[in-house]
Amino acid sequence: MGAYCKDYQMFDNYNYMGRSSQDLRFSKHLYDNVHGNIYVDPLFLKFIDTEQFQRLRDLKQLGTTHMVYPGAVHSRFEHSLGVYWLAGEAVHKLKAHQGSELDIDNFDVQTVKLAGLLHDIGHGPFSHLFEREFLPRVIRGSKWSHEQMSVEMVDYIVDEHNIEIESDTVKRVKEMILAGSDFASKNSAREKQFLYDIVANGRTGIDVDKFDYIVRDCRACGLGCNFQFQRLMETMRVMDDEICYRAKDYLTVHKLFATRADLYRTVYTHSKVKAVELMIADALVQANDYLEIASHIQDPSQYWKLDDTIIKTIETAPVQELKESKDLILRIRRRDLYQFCNEYSVPKDNLENFKDVTAQDIVCSQKNGGKTLREEDVAVSNIRIDLSRGSNNPLACVNFFKDYDSDEKFPISDDKISHLLPTSYQDMIVRVYSKKAELVGVVSEAFENFQLKTYGIKAQVHATPQKKRRRASNI
């Protein structure tokens, strides 16, 4: 990745399109280290100045990533403000360029911005870890999602704080929050569907949520970012109720997906980051019976009290019931992490019918002799990385236009894009950890046997680090 994303301050001297300086007098002025000056109107402040929204300050945007990238301590509070701002910028630009044609009114502007502000208010402790790693282990067949909790939290905040807001506004905001996750329901019959694609875009995956977190995460982790969302926001156009982009900008669109995938590979699923995640998930599971953590998801009035500080609660509680969880957290504090043994990328031919590898698969692949493995000695992480559309080319879902005089929209087919771009759009990585340092060699050998049994070859690229084998033999 190249140099840092530039032009973060492009909105510094920006006065809302169509807004007077008189209007700005009643707005709160905030400074964001990514987007510069942000102005928050009174209605949105009513939501921000609640304990439920302020809770987002105690949810790190990247969960446990700060354990590897020390700068990644930014919160969902900052991100939510950033998405609020970009959502407003996007709808104002569309209104300025195609206002009479699109019939964008103040109700549209207000709902898009509020959806941007509240889209992540339903996230749990350590964000996606809570939803994807913890809940499925304590609630069989859990279908819980932070998007659904977000809409429940919106209702709760409005009722709890007696916020004066039209019911139609709340209804549309909730629909916009769910737009990215429920698009399979084919709700494209909505009026002004393009507005629903600004914050969470289920059609193309291009939305201001990604614009913000990609730039913000790259900056916090000290990575380069040469994806410029400003270019897309300046040139986007609505055609047939869908946001389209200039054909000459297809590489910028592709860079959005490629940068996101690169973040997943190098940051979000870093081997040490995943080791900490696995340990925290185990700690939460073991603490669940005593703290009844999972029961909070049924009631927004209790749920908002959950945040990342739950680890400190476990760590300092003077009760024997939490000893196993405390011990795991102490190991994290002392950097005594689950030991990464090895990984492999699932062969392309096996991706379509791939089934998640489990600890049981690894244990059952152990040959006789030596130390006997148990399932609780092994942790497996099945990591899916794609360009947002699984094995499909994400550009195939995006419509483009030739120039501003054109009335025709079209996708860009594989044979018309640069041959330097990837032809495979999905990667599946199986990563195995030993929960005990002395078992690294045994787990690694069982993992190699599993690969030979499953694929007839050893699919991993590198050998288990010798220093880990030596360390294990000296224990």
- Give the rounded percent of residues in the chain with a pLDDT score beyond 70: 88
Give me the pLDDT at residue 182, please. Answer: 58
Is residue 146 part of the annotated active site? The answer reads: yes
Q: What is the pLDDT of residue 392?
A: 72
Q: 14-28, 312-326, 376-390: which has the minimum mean pLDDT?
A: 14-28
Question: Which of 21-30, 179-188, 311-320, 439-448 has the weakest average pLDDT?
Answer: 179-188
Over the stretch 20-38, which tens digit does the pLDDT of each residue have? 444 566 789 999 999 999 9
Q: Is the pLDDT of residue 424 over 70?
A: no
User: C-alpha angle with apex 104: 82 to 168, nearest 5 degrees?
Assistant: 80
- Of 92, 119, 146, 254, which residue is the catalytic one? 146
**Is the whole model's pTM more than 0.75, yes or no?**
yes
Mean pLDDT of 166-171: 96
pLDDT, mean of residues 443-449: 94
3-state secondary structure of 151: helix
Where does the pLDDT of residue 131 fall: very low under 50, low under 70, confident under 90, or very high at 90 and above?
A: very high
Which pLDDT value is given to residue 371? 85
- Mean pLDDT, residues 402-431 taken together: 80
* Closest listed residue to residue 92, CA positions, set 101, 104, 81, 107: 104
Using one digit for the tens of pLDDT, what is the confidence trace for 63-112?
A: 999 999 999 999 999 999 999 999 999 999 999 999 789 999 999 999 99
Q: What is the pLDDT of residue 387?
A: 74
pLDDT for position 394: 83
Which pLDDT belongs to residue 13? 37
User: Would you say residue 19 has pLDDT above 60?
Assistant: no
Beta-bridged to residue 433, according to DSSP, are 340, 379
pLDDT in tens, 199-223: 999 899 999 999 999 999 999 999 9
Position 467 scores a pLDDT of 55
Average pLDDT over residues 402-406: 88
Q: For residue 351, what pLDDT is reported? A: 83
CA 201/CA 39 separation, integer angstroms: 24
Torsions phi, psi for 247 (to 5 deg): -60, -35
What local confidence, expressed as pLDDT, does residue 26 receive? 73
Task: Output 392 or 453, whichever has higher pLDDT.
Answer: 453
pLDDT one-digit tens code per residue, 269-301:
999 999 999 999 999 999 999 999 999 999 999
Confidence of residue 458 (pLDDT cuts 50, 70, 90): confident
Structure tokens at 131: 């939803």
**Residue with more model confidence, 472 or 220:** 220
Residue 474's pLDDT is 54
DSSP letter (8 states) at residue 89: H
| Class of residue 93 by CB neighbours under 10 A (exposed 0-12, middle 13-18, buried 19+) | middle
DSSP for 42-87? HHHHHHHTSHHHHGGGGSBTTTTGGGTSTT---BHHHHHHHHHHHH
Strand segments (E) across 328-440: 339-345, 378-386, 400-401, 426-434
pLDDT at res. 185: 44
Give me the domains of the chain, ranges plus CATH numbers.
8-271 (1.10.3210.10), 338-387+425-475 (3.30.70.2760)
Taking 50 as the threshold, does the pLDDT of residue 14 lie above it? no
Contact status, residue 199 vs residue 87, Cβ threshold 8 Å: yes
Q: How many CB atoms lie within 10 A of CB 98?
A: 16
Q: What is the pLDDT of residue 311?
A: 96
pLDDT in tens, 225-245: 889 999 999 999 999 999 999
Give the confidence band of 15 by pLDDT, cuts at 50, 70, 90. Answer: very low
Q: Residue 427: how many CB atoms within 10 A of its CB?
A: 19
CA separation for the pair 398, 385 (Å, rounded): 20
Burial 264-280 (b: 16+ CB within 10 A, else e): beebbbbbbbbbbbbbb
β pairing state of 242-246 and 400-401 = parallel
Amino acid letter for position 376: E
pLDDT at 17 (0 to 100)? 44
Q: What is the mean pLDDT of residues 250-275?
A: 94
Average pLDDT, the chain: 88
Q: Decide if 44 contacts 114 (C-beta within 8 A).
A: yes
Q: What tens digit of pLDDT does each residue of 329-388 get? A: 999 999 999 999 999 999 888 888 889 999 999 999 998 767 899 999 999 999 999 876
